[in-house]
Amino acid sequence: MHKTSFIGIVVLLNLDRYFMNLYFMIIYYTLVVCLINAIVPNESSYNNTQPHI
């Protein structure tokens, strides 16, 4: 009984850690993409100078 509950707790902790790492990776990735877009002007930004109708 204690073994199964212990395994379940370990699995939950590992899943929690995995999702936290995934969450921070997504935040870090979006920050890096925003920085790259700010530093390096894209060709799409040049094409977007014309007003959209």
The one-letter amino acid at 6: F
pLDDT for 34: 92
Residues 6+ apart with CB under 8 A from 14: none
pLDDT for 27: 96
**Residue with tokens 């930004």, as numbered in its chain:** 45
* Structure confidence by residue, pLDDT tens digits, 1-53: 567 788 888 999 999 999 999 999 999 999 999 998 888 876 665 656 666 66
pLDDT for 23: 93
Q: In Å, how far are 29, 34, 39 from 26, measured between CA atoms? A: 5, 12, 20
